[in-house]
Chains A and B, each alone.
Chain A
Amino acid sequence: MKIIATYSIKGGVGKTATAVNLAYLAAQNGYRTLVWDLDPQGASSYYFRVKPKIKGGSKELIAGERELDGLIKATDFENLDLLPADFSFRNLDLVLDARKKPTQRLKQLLQPLSDSYDFIFLDCPPNISLLSEAIFESSDILLSPIIPTTLSLRTLEQLKKFIKENKLKNLQLMPFFSMADRRKNMHKDIMTTLSEKHSGILQTTIPYASDIERMGLERMPLGGYIKKSQSTEAYQDLWQEILTTIKLK
């Protein structure tokens, strides 16, 4: 089982679209896949048409009173399940803080699912907090979308520093460009500069595209309503690049 967190300190960078579309592709490849919507906004739950509500809320969940397995919902797609969000997730930080070894908690909760899934995607809320640390501790891959703007460099460096300082040796950071507009010279320039400075940035770029925006209307992953487009190809390439990087292809 590989745990992939789609994470960024910033909001609105395409985390949820990445988690939902990559999970869809993994499931299409035959991998048993789960998306855990950790964002109280419940965007990925919305995309899968599942109510953003779990029995007992974050308190019972973190206390381990309910097994994760009992809260999982099948999506409309083969091999793809969802652990929905809940509005109480806005307090996850507080609930975690009340525990001993709070950063280990997510890892412990996910452990029993290791036989049931090949990939688990954690769709994370945008911030850097105790929950983020717990996510970093439990994940194998930190997939971080970067919009090619001047601020992105700062954000990426902050993240790298954080990983280094917290000695997260098992966590593989995979930044990639998201919502990129190749018509904008600034986007092109920043992408070139950043790729030169940071060797770990993935080759694939997810474009800014209206068909990805339409996910909110269609309420399903891109592949559910479009057979082939520049965007579907981009996600496909991104998924293949991830598989190659972790040598599962």
Chain B
Amino acid sequence: MTVLPLHFELPEHMAADNFLSTLSKKIDFQIASEHYAIKTFYDSFDWRLYNADILCELNQSKTASHISLIDRNSGDCLALENQQDVPSFSHQFKDGRLKTKLDSLLEMRALLPLCQLPHQVFHINVLNKDKKTIVRIKLEEYEDLASRISLQPLKGYEKAVARISLLLEKSFELTPTQGSILNSALKLQGRKAKDYSSKLAIKLDPELRADKASKIIYRDLLKSIQINEAGTIADIDTEFLHDFRVAVRRTRAGLSQIKQVFPDKVMTHYASFFAWLGQITGATRDLDVYLLNYKQYKAALPESLQADIAPLYAFLKQKQKQAQTELAHHLKSPDYIKQLLAWEQYLKEPLPKKGCSSAANLTIKTLADQRIWKVYKRLIKEAEEITECSPAKVLHELRKTCKKLRYLMEFFQSLYPDNEINALIKALKGFQSVLGDFQDYEVQETSLKKFSEEMMVNKVQSNTFLAMGVLVQHLDTKRCAARQDFSKQYALFKCEQNKSAFKTLFAPQTEVKKS
């Protein structure tokens, strides 16, 4: 059975009134209501709802206001609530289907308005000779976009809706439309859906000169820094700062790992600028993480102590606010703005005909092979030296090497066959996460101890310190578990299959032949 088109677009020159007057000559209908309304679309900055094929819209009129989640493909309503204003975070919604759905998709990300569409809505009932409604039509007349018609079939009157659909398509020559009005509205703003993702997707030509390719990589990272800057300053949600810092860290890794492609002076200067940027954003991020973890902290405590941990939340919140103010101050400072502009300018400038070093003159594929292979070998060497008694510092160093390797592989992903490099990145991620856990638990333990000292001054109840003590104990158990898991995860990573894949993809031909 062919799928019946239920959504149509009116030609731009056709006003709703004209359409209705023509329609009245063909069928009997009654306008049940006509009113002015505003439709506002919402999504997270990184399009989490759209990526899950869901649209979130707030429809406000004089008499009603409701928020709904719509299946982007079928147009079906998945959840609907009466709601005057849209809260930023899913946990601020009242319990129900809408909240459950949003919770799982948005996590810590805020809902942001994408575009607002004022329009006139007509609810039309198509009637049969008994004046019974057999099809409902919704006509939305927008100011700057083509009007839209949606047919709402009624149970038991399937033939009627088929007849109306055919009438609109054939007699009125209306275009059936699949895409949401959101796509048209975004187009009008010069935007398109999914125009931001925190994932790197840099396309490189393998034959490109290494310094030129490096500029492409840094430009991509700079764009990510710039696009997340306003949200970081405004503290809309924690992920703006997170993505901002990831782009900074990737830039730093690039500057230290894609060696000698730019003059030393440039490399040193910007390495120190981005190191500063990493440092001034660190405190806020750490506190964000503690606040995001708070629920788990509380859940880890025995029930009798769960209420006692509350002062820690207040303390973290206040500290985060302070750190955020300082961070915003830095990101608004003339010095920061000047430095970032200069970096942007440098990346835009054309490069000299001949690169500044032999590395700069290599093709990017050759340089990528060399760098990834070298860092991979270093990682294996460092990991092999780790024993049961190795201090935390050594594991921390190994984690840093892992990150460097991961970033290099992500920068140069487009130079290698997709499935092969993706499999290796995935394997590396798994290994990295055990090192990350180990490090994070240790840092959290140390910080909690430090926080308790600071909180002593605030006359906090002794039970809070007791709860924090239990929490430190809990984190320590988890840290030990991560430490014990290390050898297992490393064994998985260094398996023969991964080893030979790394070799085939990145090792110089001479070494491959030797084996």
Cross-chain contact B156 with A72 (CB below 8 angstroms): yes
Complex interface: stretch among B19-27, B127-135, B452-460: B127-135
Cross-chain contact A81 with B155 (CB below 8 angstroms): yes
Q: Within the complex, which residue of A51, A74, A219 is in contact with B154, where a contact is CB–CB below 8 Å? A: A74
Closest residue to B154 on the A side, CB-wise?
A74
Considering the chains assembled together, what is the distance between the CA atoms of A154 and B394 in angstroms?
A: 95
Considering the chains assembled together, what is the distance between the CA atoms of A76 and B157 in angstroms?
A: 12
A93 CB, min distance to chain B CBs, angstroms: 26
In the assembled complex, B232 has its CB within 8 A of some CB on chain A: no
Could you tell me how many residues of chain A have their Cβ less than 8 Å away from some Cβ of chain B? 11
Cross-chain contact B155 with A50 (CB below 8 angstroms): no
For B152-173 the 0/1 string (1 means CB < 8 A from A) is: 0011110000000000000000
Cross-chain contact B130 with A74 (CB below 8 angstroms): no
Cross-chain contact A73 with B155 (CB below 8 angstroms): yes
Cross-chain contact A76 with B133 (CB below 8 angstroms): yes
Considering the chains assembled together, what is the distance between the CA atoms of A109 and B154 in angstroms?
A: 23
Cross-chain contact B156 with A48 (CB below 8 angstroms): no
Q: Within the complex, which residue of A49, A71, A72 is in contact with B132, where a contact is CB–CB below 8 Å? A: A49
A212 CB, min distance to chain B CBs, angstroms: 21
Main secondary structure of the interface of A (DSSP, over half): loop
For B437-468 the 0/1 string (1 means CB < 8 A from A) is: 00000000000000000000000000000000
A-B contact count (CB 8 A): 25
Q: What residues of A have a CB within 8 angstroms of the CB of B125 in the complex? A: 76
Q: Within the complex, which residue of A49, A74, A76 is in contact with B156, where a contact is CB–CB below 8 Å? A: A74
Q: What residues of A have a CB within 8 angstroms of the CB of B132 in the complex? A: 48-50, 76
Q: What residues of A have a CB within 8 angstroms of the CB of B131 in the complex? A: 49, 219
Closest residue to B156 on the A side, CB-wise?
A73
Q: What residues of B have a CB within 8 angstroms of the CB of A50 in the complex? A: 130, 132
Considering the chains assembled together, what is the distance between the CA atoms of A93 and B55 in angstroms?
A: 52
Considering the chains assembled together, what is the distance between the CA atoms of A75 and B125 in angstroms?
A: 12
Q: What residues of B have a CB within 8 angstroms of the CB of A71 in the complex? A: 156
Q: What residues of B have a CB within 8 angstroms of the CB of A72 in the complex? A: 155-156
Considering the chains assembled together, what is the distance between the CA atoms of A246 and B196 in angstroms?
A: 53
Closest residue to A70 on the B side, CB-wise?
B156
Q: What residues of B have a CB within 8 angstroms of the CB of A49 in the complex? A: 130-132
Cross-chain contact B157 with A73 (CB below 8 angstroms): yes
Considering the chains assembled together, what is the distance between the CA atoms of A219 and B155 in angstroms?
A: 19
A86 CB, min distance to chain B CBs, angstroms: 14
A235 CB, min distance to chain B CBs, angstroms: 22
A35 CB, min distance to chain B CBs, angstroms: 13
Q: What residues of A have a CB within 8 angstroms of the CB of B133 in the complex? A: 76
Most A CB contacts (10 A, CB to CB) among B125, B155, B156, B157 go to B156
Interface of B with A (CB < 8 Å)?
Answer: 125, 130-133, 154-157
Interface of A with B (CB < 8 Å)?
Answer: 48-51, 71-74, 76, 81, 219
